[in-house]
Chains A and B, each alone.
Chain A
């Protein structure tokens, strides 16, 4: 036990329910070298510094060791500027500002309608699994809608996304093997998307996939391969993350009934509450994709060129040097700066969408569930230390309020 580093203990699934004492331990060494040569960074300032440091690459092909040599170019989450920026801009063009600023805001009614349907689905029950019944179906449905994936294909999508996520994780020793697994599933998903994209090329619609295949600008457009890798990225990156935010959110609110009560009285407070959830129970706990391109002096340590770097976002967001009373869940915290969506050029692409989904779903659950309570605390967790969240979240309740559509009413 003692021979294992704090970080190894964090990776161990048995501690998944409450990793925060270990993260506090980890912060005692802001930049901690692991036996395999990985550097784990756990304090807020240092993480923010590295997220904005041009000597830090997200492209694993820059790793000193050459154990893995993935074929084909990675999607933009695994690329550096200028390639990253070009692809991100090309994708953003069909998703957000400056070219499409209203798409996400415009999804509000659709997300609410989906949420209403899901909560109506448990109206007759007195017990439900928030993960399976609500959190799980929503993000895929939304991203499928955005991309233009037909509804009947959604279940297949789910399965692929799950399989891929199980293979993502830090640690270098079995990475190559997991990488192979991931590629096998990835190929199926890619094949499917390539076909769909090809169909859209002939008959473009309003969806993002159509935008990806048809747009050509001064900077060119996406190659067919880039269309597929970007679509896969959007699907994967927004899937389990959002599920976890909703599940972690419900769990946290149920653990703090007084704050849940206040939220019921003042529904607008769901906005700062979701920010606090991203800080307090972040769905992405670790970012394990970085590589030092040069020697980096930080917090009294030198990270040698070529070293893998892990940014422990979950530890940084609870750094007492950054935020007062960090282990307290305070949904009404002022000026809440957290690392929930990362930072720098790779700042979460889908953050506005994720926020909206979580605000609507959690807002509706709080509003509509009568006397909700946890059935088991802690709930069972998924094994991943990177994307951390409950596998199931069983709750009991005395009934469900009828749908009142407060969001659609309040829109201007």
Chain B
């Protein structure tokens, strides 16, 4: 039986860890679990799933007591024809299920570049690397029965928008009436190919990557070198320390996580690394990876002139979007992703919205009303799921019934035993204030503001407050928050956010988002009174 927890929803109540202690484990609020527990755990897991107060534990539909939930949806247009989904991972697979749930009765083909069923990536840098869960225990559950043709190990090489065809590497062509692009990203490799090919140099994106890296860590190298202290690099560093392996982290920026969360939280992250014994080198880059005569990694040279000896290196320098196959498609696809509107419809090179081409997940670049309609890509689990839902819904709906993708981004990470969550876009900020808790205790809520409006919040082991701050973001509430509330500590006030440079737009109008369900969510502009 397969399990996945929607950790964007999870509030760390721990009910699952109480009721199925062999499957779910908690570190304060950080939840780690086995995605494929044995059948002897079935009863435990069912008890845990039933008890979750926010119903974040999802199982194979065949394992639950209930037949596939949703009642037949009201008749809509566009429920027949041919739909093709390219990319069979989180976004693609979820969209396939939603299409059927929404009453799509036509033919459905899913083209998956990898050779196995969709799996969940977040565990790959967490419980899989520690060895708590085997790498092949990461397949995503089947939330409902999906009638579709799944083509595994099939690479799409071109998209013909006018001719409505997807070409595959083996020469096959597959016609469609509507297509969903969900080809995600891949790990950015070390730019020097010869150095990247050294034995012991890793990246982490796929199941195979995780299996290899796990094996390398299990062999207990004397030191692991991690290039980049973003979320993935930091999580791997945390795993190394948990396994009691020496680890050096080299980060170009002034602290870990700065490009995502800014310098204030970055400083806290840096302290966490050091407290846990990570050799953290900030404002530093790796200039060369060095091998021995047998082509095995020996160490690295750093920009400060020093060297590090390491048998294993993990290149965690971000990702590259899988858009090359769209080169001649006429879509606005490039290193930035595939541009689309808030309804997930792709935009062509002229900036015109297409009608039959949809985009979801890590490759989608969409305008977010709450953030001045700036186009953004979000490489988040929750965004892939939310966008897949919106895209699939819109693929079977007429113009009048389409939904906008207005969900406020939510992200989580677990590292050094702490559950880090964010809501909103933390880099969209000029100031930060710690509203609840304290950074010294590693339990706090940090609220981000931009030009006097709340734009994001980050929590360390305080995830259950996030919904409240999400509402402040949606309402464009004033920053800094001035109200009286629990757990407010003396002497705290807003400090500069120290986020990476971004385009500063002129503020004229404020956008607020209202509504809870996708069907009722709407953005509206509040104009400043004219004077």
Contact = CB atoms under 8 A, between A and B. Distances in A.
Interface centre among B53, B437, B464, B487 (most CB of A within 10 A): B53
B387 to A, nearest CB: 21
Contacts of B40: 412
A54 B468 contact: yes
Main secondary structure of the interface of B (DSSP, over half): mixed
A355 B18 CA distance: 11
A345 B486 CA distance: 11
Interface residues of B, number: 42
Nearest to A305: B484
A13 interface: no
A98 interface: yes
B171 to A, nearest CB: 44
Nearest to A342: B53
Interface in B445-494: 464-465, 467-468, 471, 483-487
B18 A345 contact: no
Interface in A176-226: none
A18 interface: no
B54 A337 contact: yes
A334 B64 contact: yes
Nearest to B435: A54
A101 B18 contact: yes
B343 interface: no
Interface string A279-304: 00000000000000111000000000
Contact of B18 (A269, A344, A352): A352
B14 A96 contact: yes
A52 B53 CA distance: 13
Contacts of B82: none
Interface centre among A98, A343, A355 (most CB of B within 10 A): A98
B463 to A, nearest CB: 10
Contact of A54 (B26, B41, B53, B485): B485
Interface stretch (B44-52, B151-159, B216-224): B44-52
A271 B46 contact: yes
A48 B66 CA distance: 26
A327 interface: no
B486 A332 contact: no
B277 interface: no
Interface centre among B25, B44, B54, B65 (most CB of A within 10 A): B65
Given A97-B21, A335-B69, A294 B483 contact: yes
Interface string A341-357: 10111010001100110
B53 A53 contact: no
Interface string B46-79: 1100110111000000001110010000000000
Given A54-B436, A101-B18, A352-B15, A80 B53 contact: no
B15 A336 contact: no
B485 A347 contact: no
Contacts of B487: 54, 80-82, 85
Interface centre among B43, B468, B516 (most CB of A within 10 A): B468
Contacts of A355: 19, 47, 51
Contacts of A74: none
A85 B17 CA distance: 19
A269 B483 CA distance: 46
Given A97-B14, A334-B64, A55 B484 contact: yes
B436 A410 contact: no
B70 to A, nearest CB: 9
A55 B465 CA distance: 11
Contacts of A268: 43, 46, 65
B296 interface: no
B67 to A, nearest CB: 9
Given A55-B483, A345-B464, A102 B436 contact: no
B461 to A, nearest CB: 10
Nearest to B31: A97
B28 A98 contact: yes
B27 interface: yes
B436 A81 contact: yes
Contacts of A356: 19
Given A97-B17, A101-B18, A54 B25 contact: no
B26 A101 contact: yes
B464 A344 contact: yes
Contacts of B51: 275, 351-352, 355
A347 B53 contact: yes
Contacts of A332: 65-66
Interface string A34-55: 0000000000010011001111
Contacts of B53: 337, 341, 343, 347
Contacts of B467: 48-49, 52
A104 interface: yes
Contacts of A351: 15, 51
Contacts of A45: 516
A12 interface: no
Interface in A353-368: 355-356, 359
Nearest to A82: B487
Contacts of A379: none
A31 to B, nearest CB: 16
A62 to B, nearest CB: 9
Interface string B246-264: 0000000000000000000
Given A271-B46, A271-B47, A294 B485 contact: yes
A305 B53 CA distance: 29
Contacts of B46: 268, 271
A272 B51 CA distance: 8
A334 B13 contact: no
Interface in B55-107: 55, 64-66, 69
B443 interface: yes
Given A271-B46, A352-B51, A293 B486 contact: yes
A57 interface: yes
B3 to A, nearest CB: 15
A105 interface: yes
Given A337-B55, A352-B51, A356-B19, 15 more contacts: A49-B467, A52-B467, A52-B468, A54-B486, A101-B21, A269-B65, A272-B65, A294-B483, A294-B484, A295-B483, A334-B66, A347-B13, A347-B53, A352-B19, A412-B40
Interface of A: 45, 48-49, 52-57, 80-82, 85, 96-98, 101-102, 104-105, 268-269, 271-272, 275, 293-295, 305, 332-337, 341, 343-345, 347, 351-352, 355-356, 359, 410, 412
Task: Enumerate the 3 nearest inter-chain pairs by beta-carbon distance, A residue then B residue, closest first.
Answer: A352-B18, A54-B485, A81-B487
Interface of B: 13-15, 17-19, 21, 25-28, 40-41, 43-44, 46-47, 50-51, 53-55, 64-66, 69, 435-437, 441, 443, 464-465, 467-468, 471, 483-487, 516
